[in-house]
Amino acid sequence: MKKVKVIKIDVDKCNGCRACEVVCSAFHAAPKYSSTNPERSRIRVLWDPLKDIYVPVLAGEYTEAECNGRDIYTIDGKEYDECSFCRASCPSRNLFKDPDSDLPLKCDMCEEEPPLPEPLCVQWCLSDALTYEEREEEGEEEEKLGEMEVGLESLIKKHGAKTVMDTVARLAKE
């Protein structure tokens, strides 16, 4: 079993205070908590008071190339910009890039030692727009395969693919 960490976002409860951006950027400052800069945050709040909406978006995977297509969302009859709700750090925009190094940013769930009871953006969201839960998922087989692959790769590097294959074939017969 593997542990899956989930931040649930209730858009209706977000008031656009941006406390989540402040604390996330402070946590990821160097040294930690030495400064704040929302552009360094791994969570950004899509802010559009005219459309009466604030949508927190957590930074996801980095992508090397921008999409060939675009999505346009219409919610309650209001149309939102292309890419508004996308989580990727992507070349087509400045969102989720470190302002100093330009390196992509990705939410790391505030990994810390000892672990935090909850991610900081959740702790600082006083309107409960962000809530945290952990759940167990079937994942053992996948993890074992991963370990096996890592092990096999190192064996192949050390002994060569043919030797490893011959050894596996011999052991399978025994």
Please tell me whether residue 26 binds ligand SF4 under the rule CB under 6 A: no
Q: How far is the CB of 68 from ligand SF4 (least distance, A)?
A: 28
Based on CB atoms, which residue is closest to ligand SF4, 88 or 130?
130
Q: How far is the CB of 22 from ligand SF4 (least distance, A)?
A: 8
Based on CB atoms, which residue is closest to ligand SF4, 16 or 36?
16
Question: Is the link from the previous residue into 31 a cis peptide, with omega within 30 of 0?
Answer: yes
Contact residue for ligand SF4 among 26, 40, 45, 97 (CB under 6 A): 45
Q: Compute the distance between CA of residue 7 and CA of residue 25 in angstroms, rounded to an integer.
A: 17
Of 68-76, 92-100, 123-131, 140-148, the window that binds ligand SF4 (rule: CB under 6 A) is 123-131
Based on CB atoms, which residue is closest to ligand SF4, 25 or 90?
25
DSSP 23-76: HHHHHTSSSTTS---GGG-SEEEEEEGGGTEEEEEE---B-SS--SS---EEET
DSSP 87-144: --B-TTSSTTB-TTT--B----TT--SSPPSS-HHHHH-TTSSEEEEEEEE--HHHHH
Name the one residue in this structure whose structure tokens are 């050390």.
158
Based on CB atoms, which residue is closest to ligand SF4, 43 or 90?
43
Closest by alpha carbon to 14, among 49, 61, 59, 50? 49
| Residue 56: how many other CB atoms lie within 10 Å | 22
Please tell me whether residue 104 binds ligand SF4 under the rule CB under 6 A: no
Please tell me whether residue 53 binds ligand SF4 under the rule CB under 6 A: no
Of 65-73, 102-110, 137-145, 151-159, the window that binds ligand SF4 (rule: CB under 6 A) is 102-110
| Residues near ligand SF4, by CB under 6 A | 14-20, 24, 27, 42-43, 45, 54, 56, 58, 107-110, 119-121, 124-125, 127, 129-130
